[in-house]
Amino acid sequence: NSTELKDIHYIYSHSYNKAEFLRSDSNVGKYVGFREFGMKNAERWNNDPHVLSWRRAQKEMFCHHNSEVWYRKVLLRS
- Position 5 scores a pLDDT of 62
Question: Considering the domain boundaries, does residue 6 fall inside one?
Answer: no
When divided into structural domains, the chain yields a total of 1
Question: Considering the domain boundaries, does residue 32 fall inside one?
Answer: yes
Q: Is the model more confident about 66 or about 32?
A: 32
Question: Considering the domain boundaries, does residue 3 fall inside one?
Answer: no
Task: Report which secondary-structure segment, H or E, holds 19.
Answer: strand 19-25
The enclosing domain of 59 has a CATH number of 3.10.320.10
Question: Considering the domain boundaries, does residue 51 fall inside one?
Answer: yes
Question: Considering the domain boundaries, does residue 5 fall inside one?
Answer: no
Indicate the pTM of the whole model: 0.69
d(CA 41, CA 22) in angstroms, rounded, equals 8
Angle at which helices 35-46 and 49-58 cross, to 10°: 100
d(CA 19, CA 67) in angstroms, rounded, equals 29
Question: Considering the domain boundaries, does residue 2 fall inside one?
Answer: no
pLDDT tens, position by position, 12-40: 899 999 999 999 988 888 999 999 999 99
